[in-house]
Structure 1
């Protein structure tokens, strides 16, 4: 039964047929059967086909070719002579190699080539680009670009949720309508509010140090009073409109974290908002057009200039937004290439998103090789030591609440087992 899943393939010098492991001939130009996972050629090149992929054999004895229209393949290509070549073609471009290991992923709007060894050339339309080990290329709309390098800091990342809903919609306490620190008794007078927030940040800094974290994401800086209508806005440019009480102390709080030696980050979104009377409204349809790129870029530029932010969680969920709507991959691609030195954590991401973003949410299914996996906040159950150890060994960035002593100590025990 196992043999049926292996295709031993070669091109005869005088024929356009190949032989499969069970001896059944397959003509060049035919689709590879769904049960086949490994394709081996006479020169010992190997192609591993991911489930649900659509691959067709092409080419001839000198110029081997696979047409990948959907899914993913990983190729281990033997060195080719000057007269031979190996090409994997997708709807967005063609990857040609002389001897290397690489992976090709096909998405709706782009194809991604990730190189493990050697060099790969990728062409789309009139544009061509080459990549070496550790690099990735993205082909889309007749162009090819090199994707930013992966995020190399794999230490944990803190996430402090500063505000949110404290009860059913419409039942936020009048004493704390924005849900700051989820405390109905919080004093919102400027001096008292500043002192309380500063104390929370100092506690977070202590947790970050204990867990040997790289930085912290401050989630919900606009307050939770708008969450019922528009979710977390993710627009730091309008902080003074959404939460003037936090805007007044934001610079000092971010500076306090940076001075302690940690990266800082915020949540951003591609949505535009407008105020109608006493409520805010979100332009949901705008997510699918080019303005998403401009909105994300503008918010990153603002947060970097004002607070030196280098970590961004891109929020695409919330009230009134269909679950299938995502930031357009093309928009994210342009933003990531413009800001290659920031960590982008994309909600509701796909392979096309993660090809150019440095991070990926835990809930996603397909993770291209070499990508940094950002495991989103565990505010629920505490992972077991074995789960944490496996995630750390895989190089995942573990996101945790630095105000939660249990989670801080779990990371401390994992990362610094010999520390007191």
Structure 2
């Protein structure tokens, strides 16, 4: 059955992108340039004679000088040649040769690239612009000036560009080879020009190059791989156009989130930073009346009663919404301003909020006894203390930090849901998805909800999104790779009480996404909208 499915998927791919009888792609070659013209129907993407587009450009390269010092430089050409019989373009540069062999099959142009190191040092890789296309208008699924690429590590080395007349799919078809393939917008072109780019070294200005892509070519050694430029029908799904790449990647890196319960989750907040220092209520508990100091016996008694009453009340709303569980964002209180307000270190509760230390166990126990899953906010960093202030400090191993915090909250409070706040690296980018693989390996039965994400996160987590930021559905690109992928969607303050909004929310639920609502009060009309959408979706009673 699996073999039959793969054969069927490949046949569909051929229909959409290899249809020889209805060929729309025309490619012409001539010495010394190689490709001199590339047309799709009546649209001229390359015409060397008219100054439209370009063929291959060998860009920057990296090498180890004397096998010790890493260097990079520009690949200034020494000579070029064209072999019309074999359709091979050869560029000779300082470090060696780049040979690109073209083969057209229907509306797909295959470009086999062979790199040969002719210097005495260790060659590490090169950035190549294979084709510069004048597509006339920025693809509808692209953002201005954004580069699009992948490398068979974080995801299949496939990028799709949606134009009015066709879908252009750029793919590294050698799925076992970790080589970047993508599309880069031409500088100053306002989206009219895109380069089909490939690289084993970063392009100029690339900030997230993965060193696992780099080569290790000694003198006279070569490395080959093939990039395909597929011109497909507009409505072709990318996972159909690049069926082999997607199937191979799924087999090697399967979807790992084993969380079947898609009912809503209640969000709970015990404190709220006020911007003022209140010495009688330093953690800014919203549960206190203000009559007692939170750290006094009377204050602790008031806080305990209020926290347990808050839990009972929240349990009522969780039941009303048919929720699966809750997340408490701030068991340590909110003594400090954003972005420090969510501490995300439950093991420090006794030090950061001593008045809550003796209450927290009873608080979480109420939810568990009522049949609800419990969750908490954690961060992949460490907290350091400086007088009356704290700092969140990056750690060498974020996965180990998350594992330690999860183990603590799981053992003490039975937590299985974890909102992961501020999961960024020192440069402010989402931290590497590999860390979440380590956490998932350790705890296969928990739900990880990272605040920030890349597409690769969906393999191991259910990333956090908000309707007030325009989110509603997991992207087509992610779903093409992992149909089971889902996100957690915070609904409050971002949804209207009209039929169209309810339909959109129902579509999100039907896609498998988990909604988060405010569970400590009767948050209508938001909660009523969620209930309508749940009923409309037909997937959650």
2:404 is the counterpart of 1:298: yes
Relative to structure 1, is the Cα distance of residues 376 and 413 closer, same or farther in structure 2, using a 3 angstrom cutoff? Answer: closer
Listed as ranges, the matches of 1:111-260 within 5 Å are 136=250, 144-149=252-257, 151-166=259-274, 168=275, 171-181=276-286, 183=288, 185=290, 187=292, 188=294, 189-227=299-337, 230-260=340-370
Once residues 302 and 380 of structure 2 are traced to their aligned partners in structure 1, the CA distance between those partners, rounded to angstroms, is 34
CA displacement at 1:298 relative to structure 2: 0.8
Q: Alignment partner of 1:394: what SS?
A: helix
| Distance in structure 2 (CA, Å) of the matches to 1:399 and 1:293 | 25
The Cα shift of 1:209 comes to 0.8
- 2:417 maps to 311
Aligned to 1:399: 516
Aligned to 2:460: 356
Name the structure 1 match of 2:101: none
CA distance in 2, matches of 1:364, 1:108: 29
- Residues 280 and 377 (structure 1), Cα distance of their counterparts in 2 relative to 1, 3 Å cut: farther
TM-score relative to the length of structure 1: 0.66
Q: Cα gap change, 1:231/1:90 in structure 2, threshold over 3 Å: closer, same or farther?
A: farther
Instruction: For residues 300-339 of structure 1, give each alpha carbon's deviation from its aligned partner in whole angstroms, at most 9, with x where no partner exists.
Output: 1111111111111110079xx9782433322122212322
Superimposed CA distance per residue, residues 1-42 of structure 1 (whole angstroms, 9 cap, x where no aligned partner): xxxxx9766599xx99998444979653255958599xxxxx
Q: Would the aligned equivalents of 1:69 and 1:90 in 2 still touch at CA under 8 Å?
A: no
Superposition RMSD on alpha carbons, in Å? 4.5
Secondary structure of 2:411's partner? helix
For 2:488, the equivalent position in structure 1 comes to 374
Answer whether contact 1:293 1:332 (CA < 8 A) is retained: yes
Q: Is the 8 A contact 2:157 2:179 kept in 1?
A: no
Deviation string, structure 1 residues 198-256 (Cα, Å, up to 9, x no partner): 11111111111111111110011111113468331101111111112212111111111
CA distance in 1, matches of 2:354, 2:448: 27
Q: What is aligned with 2:110?
A: 28
Q: Secondary structure at the match of 2:359?
A: helix
Work out whether residues 360 and 372 of structure 1, in 8 Å CA contact, stay in contact via their aligned partners in 2. Answer: no
Distance 1:91-1:350 versus aligned 2 partners, 3 A rule: farther
Task: Quickly say closer, same or farther: Cα 1:33–1:121, change in 2 above 3 A.
Answer: closer
Residue of structure 1 equivalent to 2:496: 383
| Offset from partner CA, 1:33-72 (integer Å, 9 cap, x none) | 58599xxxxxxxxxx996477689xxxxxxxxxx975645
Q: Measure, in 1, the Cα distance between the counterparts of 2:516 and 2:141.
A: 29
Looking at CA atoms only, which structure, 1 or 2, has the larger radius of gyration? 2
Q: Kindly indicate whether the alpha-carbon contact (under 8 Å) linking 2:450 and 2:462 is maintained by their aligned counterparts in 1.
A: no
List runs of 5+ in structure 1 lacking aligned partners: 1-5, 38-47, 57-66, 75-85, 95-106, 123-128, 138-143
Residues 32, 54 of structure 1: 8 Å contact kept: no
Q: Equivalent of 1:329, from 433, 455, 472?
A: 433
CA contact (8 A) 1:268 1:314 kept: yes
Distance verdict in 2 for CA 1:186–1:266, change over 3 Å: farther
Equivalent pairs, count: 342
How far does the alpha carbon of each residue in 1:282-315 deviate from its partner, in whole angstroms, 9 at most, with x for none?
Answer: 214x3xx4x1111111111111111111111110
TM-aligned CA deviation for residue 196 of structure 1: 0.4
Match of 1:44 in 2: none
| Range that drifts further, 243-252 or 335-344 | 335-344
Secondary structure of the equivalent of 2:322?
Answer: coil
> Which runs of 5 or more structure 2 residues have no equivalent in the other structure?
1-15, 30-34, 47-103, 112-129, 163-171, 181-207, 214-237, 537-541
Instruction: Tell me the TM-score normalised to structure 2 length.
Output: 0.53
Alpha carbons of 1:305 and 1:334: their partners in 2 closer, same or farther (altered >3 Å)?
same
